[in-house]
Structure 1
């Protein structure tokens, strides 16, 4: 009995140790299984590079202006006593825009009239003197020298009378010039002087945009100015109405760059369309041939590595992605134009590039996106995040 209990008492610890050993082996096996790497396969959106574009669109914005804008100023100096127009008023030829004080100019007319009257009296006097000298010469009581002198005095009186008449006409013109009138039909765009202000000859008082042909002025950098030629046809769109698109023509290309912005001024003329209003914002579009074909990709497909632009290209055979350096030509509203680094048929990751690593295993879609479907691919970034 005693030996049985002793055996039983010894047997329990051995059984417990065996059970603990089995648990330790199981835990070790689980930890080894947990440390084994699990391959990550990430689904991606891709676009297939089509044949590169042989042309590209240049777009520049500007505002609609009148082809001719006139700065009206008085032809005489004086104090403005009345302004008859405001900004936005439509004017016709002969409409009075403003008036200056005409008191002094009216007095000048009175003086000129008096001078003319005196000159005419002088002409009558010397005419009588000339006639008397001619009569005395016929009777041998006057010499030829006296006759010649009388004729000379008469001619001087005639010249003085003509000068007085011209001075009178000039004085009358200055009275007329105290009214500032519109020369052509248009709309007032600016007021530079107001009632009570003393202005000099030619000082701008009101600006009038002449009705008729309109134009758009754009600033083009020197890298693209060679693509704009006088007479070149362009397309013009307007921010206020996407459906409003007109044909334009390059009217003028500046021969030198602006010293501050280093851009060239280009003026594009438009027809007289009532839908186009002065001051509207317009976009000028010109299709130009590229020196080398450009491939288009979505903006989300462009990434950066070591400070240089790259894209992630998917390999159809291995379903892995690889970084490829590219040369960006320019940015367009629909994405990025790439000059070098891509070939037709390449599969470019269109979204989620921040998750890509070299040789990452990816799941390609059953059908790749065409370039017409690229906007759909651009919306996939949030889904990948």
Structure 2
């Protein structure tokens, strides 16, 4: 059939418009489908904040020592001429430890003895004079004043004799003091003087650890000393014997800090156990209550927004993440401790925080880790 040229042109124009409309609709549909399918859903690994323990374990190291240690020294000065003990020797009551030169003190004994003899002869002399004066007074051949003078001379002589006796006893004691002996059984732990050394009275020569009760002495910082009191039960472990655990008791807490270390000395009494030897390294463990609960999270969970620290918390209902500002306490070997911003049960993104945005859809990994508050950690010194 023959069609006019103008009619054919009109038909061609309409077909072109229809084709363009169809293509546009197809493109719009593809764009919408692509937009719907391009929504990002990221898998994340999270940690769940668990309930914090209300007890901390404090651990401090110290050395086993005797409850009583004696620094023994001479009660007189002199030159040390003999030392018969060494470190590690066991001594009993009366055992000789050392001697100083007794020559001068022996001479002092001789002098005091001679003075006492002279004083006794003087007493005998004035006693005869007193008796004679008494007889003369009775016969009226001597006055009362003469008799009183004789009595006074006799009393003075007796006093001089008594003083001489005391001087002799003191000199004899000085000779005894030239020998240093143990007055309690124990073990010699240190020697502070050697033969030939001139010592003053009281200078320590040997230290003896008295046999009997043992204890552990530890240094506690001032931030934790309030957790210790006399009578507090603690656990004591010995480094050389991992299987040995003893029940100890705090015996003494120092009333003031050491001037150098600014720590407080705490002494813990130990039960009698032959496996515990003096000088062994021991560890005491005590329980202490928490102050404010501090939540610990891995360092990888920490991010920053507008210059402030944040973490990304997962909303369980919508499975999306939201940023939450937190307040940091300090950093630890395992991460960072948070004082404010997190609650028990919160799911915190543990890794990949650089890819997080608010309201981002996420898929929670099945290996969720429960992270308790850091206040339950063990403090070791």
Q: TM-score range by the shorter chain?
A: 0.7 to 0.9
Aligned to 1:190, the other structure's residue is in SS state strand
Task: Give the match for residue 145 of structure 1.
Answer: 145
| Pairwise CA distance, 1:147 | 1.2
* 1:104 alignment partner in structure 2: 104
CA distance in structure 2 between the aligned counterparts of 1:102 and 1:42, rounded to whole angstroms: 91
Are the structure 2 counterparts of residues 323 and 237 from structure 1 closer, same or farther at C-alpha, using a change threshold of 3 Å?
farther
Structure 1 length as normaliser, TM-score? 0.73
d(CA) in 1 for partners of 2:122, 2:339: 90
1:1-385 matched pairs, under 5 angstroms: 47-295=47-295, 318=319, 325=326, 327-328=328-329, 339-347=339-347, 357-359=354-356, 365-369=365-369
Secondary structure of the corresponding residue to residue 70 of structure 1: strand
Partner-residue secondary structure (3-state), 1:265? strand
Shift of residue 106 of structure 1?
1.0
Deviation larger for 233-242 or 134-143: 233-242
Q: Distance in 1 between matches of 2:155 and 2:329?
A: 85
**Following TM superposition, by how much is the alpha carbon of 1:41 offset from its aligned partner in structure 2, in angstroms?**
6.8
Question: Equivalent residue of 1:72, what SS?
Answer: strand
How big is the shift at 1:120? 1.2
TM-superposed deviation, 1:137: 1.4
Matched positions, count = 330
Q: Which 5+ residue runs of structure 2 have no aligned equivalent?
A: 1-37, 373-381
Q: Is the 8 A contact 1:116 1:161 kept in 2?
A: yes
CA deviation after TM superposition for structure 1 residue 330, in Å: 8.5
- Which residue does the alignment assign to 2:19? none
- Deviation of 1:218 after TM superposition, in Å, equals 2.2
Q: Which residue of 1 aligns with 2:30?
A: none
Cα 1:210–1:114, aligned 2, differ >3 Å: closer, same or farther? same
Greater CA drift, 261-270 or 115-124: 261-270
CA displacement 1:271-322 (0-9 Å, x = unmatched): 333222222222222212212334466x777768699987776676648797
C-alpha distance in structure 2 between counterparts of 1:110 and 1:123, whole Å: 20
Measured after TM superposition, the shift of residue 346 of structure 1 is 3.8
SS at match of 1:85: coil
Q: Kindly state the Cα deviation for residue 240 of structure 1 after the two structures are TM-superposed.
A: 1.9
Equivalents in 1 of 2:109, 2:208: separation in Å? 31
**284-293 or 83-92, larger mean C-alpha shift:** 284-293
Kept in 1, the 8 Å contact 2:64–2:216? The answer is: yes
Deviations along 1:210-234, one digit per CA (max 9) or x if unpaired, are 1222222222222222222232222
Say whether the 8 Å CA contact 1:313–1:349 is kept in structure 2. yes
Q: CA separation of 1:43/1:292 partners in 2, compared to 1, >3 Å: closer, same or farther?
A: closer
- For the aligned residue pairs, the C-alpha RMSD in angstroms reads 3.4
State the Cα distance separating 1:263 from its structure 2 match: 2.4
Correspondence for 1:5: none
For residues 294 and 340 of structure 1, do their structure 2 counterparts lie closer, same or farther at Cα, with a shift above 3 Å needed? same
Contact 1:321 1:362 in 2 (8 A): no
Post-superposition offset of 1:184: 1.2
CA contact (8 A) 1:323 1:358 kept: no
Cα distance, 1:162 vs structure 2: 1.0
Q: Please, which runs of 5 or more residues in structure 1 have no aligned partner?
A: 1-36, 373-385
